[in-house]
Structure 1
């Protein structure tokens, strides 16, 4: 059995979390944040059999383009972020192609988790202008590699390397497998070569 300390101090990819969930008999479907939640509940003493999925799979028949309106409920209506919904939004915004935003997917998961019977398609459109309202949640915290890479490229020092993406990947691997915070900081790039030596010694 893994410990809370080990789990909190290490980075896990989604497939690793799913493997752990299956190993301990926990729900294995959902976002990384949801899988993290199941594992942490177990590590804090909740029996696996008592840990239920935060969201149920939506098995309802999908709404067609012609059945969707601004007042369509997001929960238990058959509305899904699929090609029919994409056609609706493309028509609404008068564009040839419409691409779903991350904020829309997060909003849909929140609706399903909270069994929100009030949220409608209009709410999805409103959050496109204010995505921060739904992005500040536990799910966003699981995108650690993406944030690490973004912060790495904000540091002008990356330009001294011929293959900066490789440097970023190596630094991330070192941080990922350590007890250090899973965030980029300028000292990492300054200590790049010494960190590699230390990491090789540990391995």
Structure 2
């Protein structure tokens, strides 16, 4: 087993990408080396890898255009380009769906990727997303490796505790390579 190296300027991008680092560690590296700290974990990881390969600073992605302001939302209103979740949107969906409504990640992605469709379509999509989630048909995005790991751990180890899952996760993220759950990770529980 190769130990996780310290994240510093002497690391090459391949080795850097082979290990798991918390977003806080990535942001700290960026601050110490004058790199932009904005964006999600994947964007920051790509920026650091570029810096480690070239020594050059990759600027943060250009800011998105200001969202279109709509005065009134109805079911037949079209979803605006560059959709941004707002209190007006939240109020509309709570009125249509009920107080259980929340802007979950999958629904936000759907809204942002379906400009031009109607808010009626969005309501249908929301119910489908909730149904898929209940059936376990949802995909957890790559930046949420911890969540994916914990879900897969419990799928394979019913009866184990969250503490067990976390011990295995901590063990796994110190290893070189991917961070997906494998039965061999249970070695962390043998200590």
Work out the CA distance in 2 between the residues paired with 1:127 and 1:20.
40
Work out the CA distance in 1 between the residues paired with 2:88 and 2:94.
10
- Preserved CA contact (<8 Å) 1:87 1:98: no
Q: TM-score if structure 1 supplies the norm length?
A: 0.67
Equivalent in the alignment of 1:144: 145
Equivalent in the alignment of 1:103: 106
Work out the CA distance in 1 between the residues paired with 2:108 and 2:129.
14
Q: Is 1:82 the equivalent of 2:79?
A: no
In the alignment, structure 1 segments of 5+ residues that lack a partner are 112-117, 197-203
1:117-168 deviations in whole A, cap 9, x for unaligned?
x824638827544799xx87xx911211111110111113x52x5xx21111
Listed as ranges, the matches of 1:35-184 within 5 Å are 35-45=44-54, 47-48=56-57, 51-56=58-63, 60=66, 63=69, 66-68=71-73, 70-75=77-82, 80-91=84-95, 93-106=96-109, 119-120=115-116, 122=118, 125=122, 128=126, 129=128, 140-156=141-157, 158-159=158-159, 161=160, 164-184=161-181
> Relative CO higher for 1 or 2, CA cutoff 8 Å, sep ≥ 6?
2
Provide the aligned length of Structure 1 versus Structure 2.
Answer: 171
Return closer, same or farther for 1:193/1:90 CA change in 2, 3 Å cut-off.
closer
Query: Which of 39, 42, 47 in structure 2 is aligned with 1:30?
Result: 39
Equivalent in the alignment of 1:6: 15
In the alignment, structure 2 segments of 5+ residues that lack a partner are 1-8, 133-137
- State the Cα RMSD in Å: 3.3
Work out the CA distance in 1 between the residues paired with 2:67 and 2:148.
37
- Preserved CA contact (<8 Å) 2:168 2:189: no
Q: TM-score if structure 2 supplies the norm length?
A: 0.70
1:39-90 deviations in whole A, cap 9, x for unaligned?
2222332620xx22225166x58847x4345324232xxx521221101222
1:80-112 deviations in whole A, cap 9, x for unaligned?
212211012223x3424421120233457x76x
Higher helix proportion (structure 1 or 2):
1
